[in-house]
Amino acid sequence: MILRDTIVEGLLDGKAKDVVCLDMRKIDGSICDYFVIGHGDSSNHIEGINRAVYKRCIKNLKEKPWKEEGKGNSEWILMDYVKVIAHIFYKDTRSIYNLEELWGDAPKKEYQS
């Protein structure tokens, strides 16, 4: 199973909203192969999404994130799996940073929750 797909499944398990995957492989200056992005409606929801991604990656691939950031405030949790980075936003924070627009040249795939 591919790490990107496992992370997407984890976001969907956690009921993340508007899940998208940006293919960063052909983007100059990119630090990873994929960004997987989703959002939640509350800090508890965001923390639940984070746990769902973590559990799914451990269960299916025995993979832990190399680094996690933002768990203290739950506005934006970043889970860095090196080749794939998961961004779990609070809805309003997602619109402020607008990664989909910032990396608009990257091919995008949307997932239905």
Tell me, what's the pLDDT at 112? 82
pLDDT at position 101 over 90: yes
Average pLDDT over residues 107-113: 91
pLDDT above 80: residue 113: no
φ and ψ of 19, to 5 deg: -75, 130
Taking residues 26-44, report their average pLDDT. Answer: 95
Strand order in the sheet with 76-80: 67-69, 76-80, 84-90, 34-40, 17-23, 108-111
Strand 76-80 relative to strand 67-69, pairing = antiparallel
pLDDT per residue as tens digits for the range 49-80: 999 999 999 999 999 999 999 988 879 999 99
Query: pLDDT-derived band of residue 1, with 50, 70 and 90 as boundaries?
Result: low
Question: What confidence tier does 86 reach under pLDDT thresholds 50, 70, 90?
Answer: very high
Q: Is the pLDDT of residue 12 over 80?
A: yes
The type of residue at 34 is Y
Per-domain boundaries in the chain = 3-100
What CATH number does the domain located at 3-100 have? 3.30.460.10
For CA atoms 46, 48, 51, 57, the dihedral sign is negative
pLDDT confidence of residue 100: 93
